[in-house]
Structure 1
Amino acid sequence: MTTTTRRSLRLAGTAALLVLFAVELVIAWPSLTSAFTHLRTPHPGWLAAALAAELAAMAAYARMQRRLLRSAGVRVPLHRAVAVAYAAHSLSVTLPAGPAFSTRFNFQQMRRFGASPAIASWCIAFSGILSAAALAAVGATGALASHGTPDLTTLAVLAAGTPMLIIAVRRADVIERLLRRRLPRAASTIATFTEQLKAARLTPGNATAASTFALLNWLLDAACLWLRLRATGGTGIGLGPLLLAFCAGYAAGTITIVPGGLGIIDSAIILGLTTAGIDTPTAIATVVLYRIISFGVIIGAGWIVWSAIHALPRSGQAASSRFPSPIRRHPRAHARDHRNQAAPPATSASSRELITSASPCPWARTTADEP
């Protein structure tokens, strides 16, 4: 295929998309006009409540990760945990391949909080499992409230995965022996990683608190959707259809590479709301308000936080001023470290090399261990 042919095909495809967009715009113009009318007169009280619910949802997610770190002996001030949650969320939903950038950023910040590479990786993985399980529980609640049948298979897998991960961390020595037999060349790296992982002792209290915060994160986000609907004058939707529309939007957002799920999440939520009996103009206005709050406020604040973190000097003594007050570890964590210390540490350079080689996040090795 010649260059001219490829250029012609690209132009033809672009023209077809523009024509399709123009046709859809003409067809949907009456609904869009009515939706803009709703947006000109939103109820300020409901709008303020929606913003408060979204802020509370972000705080709940930050508290979940903070509780997981605390269970491993890493104490993080709440305002720093919230700041990292905002910045990581903005990276995740606005950049192409955003979750990878978000994971790297989370890993780096947890390392600076004092978490070992193993604990930081465990916290990121476990928070993802808790969040997915909580969203599945919300979806199941919506299905039951709508007299439907929830996806029990997904719930069972997620419900089984959480305790299995806890047991795996508690029996890290058994896993270490199995891995050392199969990967003898990486024995020292495996030993270091599993030794760090032993600090993660998730008690029933911490597990319950983290799970509660994960569930609150989604419930408050769903409440924000309902409050935005009320701000545009929408009424008459039940709990079940609301939760199903909410979960449908986020489920659709997981299968798209478009930053923020633009167009995909919006269409899924609009479809869910209209199926529940909400008129199309009100559903469109609700989703537009959702984008204003989530992109204009939450994501905007996250990028401001990210810029503030990276605006500070990154070398020498100035780099340590990024977090001027030390992050305290729980005394029991220090006691465990003292008991488990079988030999004096290696030199500074070799220790750093061993720690970074144990990290499952290779992209985080360049900056995670900066002084």
Structure 2
Amino acid sequence: MTMTFDSSLSRPEGRHGHPWLRRCLIAAALGLLAVELALGRTALTSALTHLRAPHFGWLLAALAAAVAAMGAYARMQRRLLLSAGLYVPLRRELALTYAAHSLNETLPGGAFFSTQLNYQQMRRFGATPAVASWCIALSGILSTAALAMVTALGALADHGTPAWPTLAGLTAAILLITIGVRHITRHPERLLSLVRTALTRANRLRRRPGDHGLEQIRAFLDQLRAARLTPGHATAAVTYALLNWLLDAVCLWLCLRSVTDQAVTPAQLLLAFCAGMAAGTVTIVPGGLGIIDNALVLGLMTGGLDTPTAIAAVVLYRLINLGFVIGAGWITLGLVLRRTRLEQRHGSAG
């Protein structure tokens, strides 16, 4: 994102924008919330009744599923680093996963801070700039593809007939991504001609020599040779990416079981879960508050659950994901930053 500054920023109206517009938006949001609370008062009251005595055993299992989901994501990133010849202890990768997740979910623009933390810590693990960037980018690609595959599986189970075009398209996309990544890491020099052309045009606009920065880019691409995504590593990474989403969906199901015995099919649960996760990708609200929750509730209601039960299950699920997991992430972030400061202090002393 490009930021521009001008002299108007020194004036109060330039610094604060249009305060009346901000007040109107806040008033509209509060008014909408008040209307929702008034219309859903009966359902909310009933949902609170469900939450007074959730089944402790199912709730504990839901917590374990959430922890396992985070562990699967950490193992996916660890496997990608391992494919580049970099061994990272699982406990350190877990700590990074929790810390980065807490930043991503709770801060406005959290994806930027999460990516920055991932990059900095992977560099401290010993990854080169190219390998760290490659691992972060591929993690996001695999996670997105895995969510799409889980959605397709839910649709497949719900309709009872194979959605062959969708499944074939997803399979082909994953194979092409894997093959493309392997090809680029084995032959990064083949990107150099494209990069040189783009760099020459950019330097022309910046009024600099055409090859300015080319050596740095060539060195960066050469570092990619260390990343050898073998079929074994690729299969393991894709499996962990799928487990990350599936275990998270299991967490939602266990939260549902803790408040009711009403049946919901796996297909309906997966579709509701994927709808909630997809809705969370298009919101700038920290943690997707309100957006993910509404999508999950509506999805569960579509699956046949009554409104109070759906609300109670989603509240418990979000308490685990936004309360326990992110709370643990912020604690871990403090420990990660403390460890980083100690390493820097010892490094400067040495």
- Work out whether the TM-score is over 0.5: yes
The 5 A counterparts of 1:19-58 are: 19-58=31-70
Query: 2:178 matched to which residue of 1?
Result: 162
Q: Deviations over 1:310-365 (max 9, x none)?
A: 235737862549xxxxxxxxxxxxxxxxxxxxxxxxxxxxxxxxxxxxxxxxxxxx
Identity in percent:
59
Q: Report how far residue 19 of structure 1 moved.
A: 3.3
The answer on whether the counterparts of 1:133 and 1:159 sit within 8 Å (CA) in structure 2 is no
Q: Do the aligned partners of residues 65 and 11 (structure 1) sit closer, same or farther apart at CA in structure 2, a change above 3 Å counting?
A: closer
Indicate conservation of the 8 Å contact 2:65/2:247, yes or no. yes
The alignment status of 1:77 with 2:93, answered yes or no, reads no
| Equivalent residue number for residue 224 of structure 2 | 197
Distance 2:278 2:343 in 1: 44
Structure 2 counterpart of 1:258, one-letter code: V
For residues 280 and 246 of structure 1, what CA distance do their matches in structure 2 show?
16
Aligned partner of 2:305 among 278, 284, 293: 278
Given candidates 228, 232, 237, the residue that maps to 2:255 is 228
Q: SS state of the match for residue 341, structure 2?
A: coil
Measured after TM superposition, the shift of residue 165 of structure 1 is 2.1
Unaligned runs of 5+ in 2: 1-12, 200-210
Aligned residue type for 2:144: A
1:20/1:188 Cα in 2 relative to 1: closer, same or farther (>3 Å)? closer
In 2: Cα distance, 1:14 partner to 1:111 partner: 42
Determine the C-alpha separation between the residues in 1 that align with 2:57 and 2:71: 21
Q: Distance in 1 between matches of 2:115 and 2:291?
A: 23
Change beyond 3 A, Cα 1:288–1:160: same
TM-aligned CA distance change 1:303 to 1:319, over 3 Å: farther
Over 3 Å counting, the alpha-carbon distance change for 1:278 and 1:179 in structure 2 is: same
* AA matched with 2:276: G
Q: Is contact 1:234–1:278 with CA below 8 Å preserved after alignment?
A: no
Measured in 2, the distance between the counterparts of 1:12 and 1:69 equals: 48
Match of 2:203 in 1: none
Distance in structure 2 (CA, Å) of the matches to 1:124 and 1:163: 18
2: CA distance, partners of 1:48 / 1:164: 42
Deviation at 1:162, TM superposition (A): 3.2
Letter in 2 for 1:162: T
Q: 1:98 aligns with which of 103, 110, 115?
A: 110
Residue of structure 1 in register with 2:268 after alignment:
241
**Secondary structure of 1:237's partner?**
coil
Of the candidates 109, 133, 151, which is equivalent to residue 145 of structure 2?
Answer: 133
Segments of structure 1 that go 5 or more residues without pairing to the other structure are: 322-370
CA deviation vs aligned residue, 1:114-155 (integer Å, no higher than 9, x gap)? 000000000001111111111111000000111075856972
Inter-CA distance 153–93: structure 2 relative to 1 (3 Å threshold): farther
Q: Which residue of 2 aligns with 1:210?
A: 237
Cα deviation per residue 1:241-269 (whole Å; 9 max; x = unaligned)? 11000000010001100000000000000
Question: Could you report, residue by residue, the CA deviation over 1:33-81 in whole angstroms, capped at 9, with x for unpaired residues?
Answer: 1111111110011001100011000001000000100110111000000
Greater share of residues in helix: 2
Q: State the 4+ residue runs in structure 1 displaced beyond 6 angstroms.
A: none
How many residue pairs align between the two structures? 318
Please tell me whether the aligned partners of residues 132 and 158 of structure 1 are also in contact (alpha carbons under 8 angstroms): no
Tell me, in whole angstroms, the C-alpha distance in 1 between the residues paired with 2:19 and 2:88: 54
Q: Is the 8 A contact 2:65 2:250 kept in 1?
A: yes
1:305 corresponding residue in structure 2: 332
| SS in structure 1 at match of 2:226 | coil
Give the CA deviation at 1:24. 1.9
TM-score, scaled to structure 2: 0.85
Q: CA RMSD in A?
A: 2.2
Partner of 2:8: none
Q: Is 1:179 aligned with 2:206?
A: no
TM-score normalised by structure 1 residue count: 0.80
Contact residue 123 and residue 129 of structure 2 kept, 8 A: yes
Q: Does 1:264 align with 2:264?
A: no
Cα 1:42–1:193 change in 2 (3 A) is same
- Aligned letter for 1:166? R
Match of 1:88 among 88, 92, 100: 100
Q: Distance in 2 between matches of 1:157 and 1:242?
A: 25
| Of 310, 317, 324, the match for 1:290 | 317
